[in-house]
Amino acid sequence: GAGVSQSPSNKVTEKGKDVELRCDPISGHTALYWYRQSLGQGLEFLIYFQGNSAPDKSGLPSDRFSAERTGGSVSTLTIQRTQQEDSAVYLCASKAGRRSYEQYFGPGTRLTVT
């Protein structure tokens, strides 16, 4: 498809387990973002990748959170030792490049930690 895709769409996990969330950006887009959206809240920036530059990790809430982007395309957000407060919708967005500002969002992954 032409848009940003994310998988899984829903994930239920037990407290303490690790989870991996995947994002496939729009082909050719060099910039990729991860956001977290808690119930009834706005989007909280987590991490940003731009080309081969070092990622901006300033939004990651703790060292349990990490992300990587392989080959400048697919990205994986990993949450280790999940906590109940990690329950949220995790959104991925991509944009064409450093000088573009329109972000295209994926449908999100709804994470529930029980």
CB of 85 to another protein, least distance (A): 18
Q: Which is nearer to another protein, 15 or 57 (CB)?
A: 57
Q: x/- contact string, 4-33, with another protein (CB under 8 A)?
A: ---------------------------x--
* C-alpha to C-alpha distance for 40 and 97, rounded to whole angstroms: 30
* C-alpha to C-alpha distance for 54 and 6, rounded to whole angstroms: 23
Q: Angle CA(90)–CA(57)–CA(51) in degrees, nearest 5? A: 90
Enter the tokens of residue 5: 């895709």
Task: Give the interface with another protein as residue ranges (CB under 8 A).
Answer: 31, 35, 40-43, 45, 48, 50, 53, 56, 89, 91, 93, 95, 98, 100-108
